[in-house]
Structures are given as structure tokens and as C-alpha cells.
Amino acid sequence: MQTTPVTTPRDLAHELDKIRANIAARLETVPPGRTVAMTYSGGRDSTVLLHAVAPLLARIVVIHVATGAALPEDAERIDIALESAPAVLRMRSDQADDIARNGCPSDIAPVMASAQAIASGAAPGPIPIQSTFSCCARNLWGPMQSAIIALRPAMLITGTRASEPLRSPCQPDTIDPITGAMHVAPLWDWTDEDIAETVRLRRLPVSAIYDLRPDGASVDCWSCTGYADELPARMVYLERHHPAKASALRERLQDLEATVDRKHQAWQRQIAITLDDTLS
């Protein structure tokens, strides 16, 4: 007779204690004069991480990048959270200005719709487009990396999890080849359910957008038109709480769709002509 294995729920309080003990032990190994840094985005994972290491924050520099495009309630919540850290390095970017100069972020970004191509004479669509990753690199990852390089920490603590669809390529307990810091990821084996349950049990302040998309969503930029899988939840949230911003995002997405369609159709026509000429 085949039996169904019983899964024992994780003791998340115990897991948090283990994280604190592990980080405390690692701190004792840091050479005198060297810094320990931690990244904090204001998202759910980094909020759980900040809570986990709270008793140790006197020895950790918390790095946060503000893009200028967070919703006011998220910006206020992040500011309050950062008050718990004695040492905070705040980096700033201007996402709205970047979009004005380089185009709207898109998961599908035709080269001939880029600001560079248009400046070189390509026929413009309704709006210029840049890749989602290009926008994030300039407004989030680049400033964060610059801060880490400037600090030269011996150890960098992040909320990276193995189950995330997109995450840092640097594995835990390895040296980041760019920053030279030992990458420590205490939440590496945590699941979405572990994070959500910890937020619920500890009553940690996170964005209400997680009620609409339990597996996570970015709170960095309300006007982001990239990461299409997150857009439905973001739009619903904006329609409920920020209707003017919802209308602006909807209009931008309509222009984005029209631009991608136009450039894609032109590309298809050229490819079809090429293949027909080659095969004839």
C-alpha cells in the first residue's frame, strides 16, 4: 500500500533565529576596518531579511536605491524601515528622466524603435523603446553596484532566493567577481510561501500589491512598462488607489503595443522578402 509522504511545515521562527546566528558568526570573521553591506529594495524579500538581521544592523551598512518612481506610500514605508538602520547608503536615480531620454522599458524591444536608432534616422513609432534590463541597469542595478564597489565590503548580504525566476548570477557563499564581496544569501532556500507566511506572522509592512500577486512584484517604479507578468497586478492596484497614474500607465502601454506591432510587422516583411528571394 502506497502512502503519501507527510510534509512537515518549516518552523519559520527557528529559521529566522538560524539566520541571525549565522550572520552574527560571519560578522566575527570580518577583518578590522572592512565593511559589511546589505541590499534593501523595499520589496517583500528584503523586508523579511531586514527583519531577520535587525539586532545586527549596528554592524551593517544598508544600501537602497531610490528611482524617484516609487508610489508615495511605498516611499514612506521604505523611509520608515530604513530608520531602523544606523548606517544607510542611499543611492538615487531618475527613472522618469531616463525614460524621456532612452524610451519606455519593454520585454520586447525592437532595435529600430530605440532612441539611438531614431536619432540616427529610423522612422519613429508612437514612442521610443528600450529593453527592460537596460532601464533597470541604469536606474537600479548600476547605482547599487556603484555603491557596493565604493564601499568595498568584505561581505554582501542580499535577499536573493533560488526560486526567483530572475536573480543575481552570483551564487551564495561565492566571491562576486565585480565587487569582490562574499555574497551571502540567507533566504536562498526560502519559498514564496515561506516569505508570505513570515510577513503575515510578523506583521511586516509590505506593499499591498502582494495581495494581488502573491508570488511577488516590484515596488521600485509604478510607471514601469517592463516585466509584463507583473503588469496586471500593478494596473489593478493603480486603478484602485491611484487612478490618474493608472490612466497614464494605460496610455503608455497602448503606445508601446502600437510601436512594437509596427516595428515587428516591418521586420516580418523584410524577413519574408529575404527568404523568398533566397529560395527563389
- Mean pLDDT, range 150-161, rounded to an integer: 94
What does the pLDDT read at residue 235?
93
Cα separation, 249 vs 234, whole angstroms: 10
What does the pLDDT read at residue 280?
58
DSSP state of 9: P
Confidence band (pLDDT; 50, 70, 90) for 279?
low
Give the predicted TM-score (pTM) of the model. 0.88
Q: Which amino acid is at 167?
A: R
Confidence band (pLDDT; 50, 70, 90) for 76?
very high
Q: Look at residues 201, 177, 150 and name the one whose alpha carbon lies nearest to residue 15.
A: 201
The β-bridge relationship of strands 129-131 and 104-106 is parallel
Confidence band (pLDDT; 50, 70, 90) for 75?
very high
pLDDT at 84 over 70: yes
Contacts of 208 by beta carbon, 8 Å cutoff, 6+ apart: 237, 241
CA dist 162 → 114, 127, 168, 267 (Å): 33, 36, 10, 37
Could you read off the pLDDT of 240-260 as tens digits, one per residue? 999 999 999 999 999 999 999
Among 36-50, 62-76, 108-122, 244-258, which is the least confidently predicted range?
108-122
What does the pLDDT read at residue 4?
52
Which comes out higher in pLDDT, residue 278 or 68? 68
Which comes out higher in pLDDT, residue 11 or 280? 11
Confidence band (pLDDT; 50, 70, 90) for 9?
low
Domain 12-279 has CATH 1.10.1040.10: no
Q: For cell 500589491, name the residue.
A: 209
Which comes out higher in pLDDT, residue 70 or 121? 70
Q: For cell 530608520, name the residue.
A: 83
pLDDT at 7 over 50: no
- Mean pLDDT, range 153-172, rounded to an integer: 86
The β-bridge relationship of strands 36-39 and 174-175 is unpaired
Could you read off the pLDDT of 180-220 as tens digits, one per residue? 889 999 999 999 999 999 999 999 999 988 888 766 677 78
What does the pLDDT read at residue 68?
96
Cα separation, 100 vs 86, whole angstroms: 36
Among 70-79, 154-163, 227-236, 270-279, which is the least confidently predicted range?
270-279
Helix or strand holding residue 201 (H, E): helix 192-202
pLDDT at 277 over 80: no
What does the pLDDT read at residue 30?
94
Report the percentage of the chain scoring pLDDT > 90: 69
CA dist 268 → 116, 118, 261, 264 (Å): 21, 19, 10, 6
- Mean pLDDT, range 110-134, rounded to an integer: 87
Q: What is the DSSP string of 138-168?
A: IIIIHHHHHHHHHH--SEEE----TT-SS--
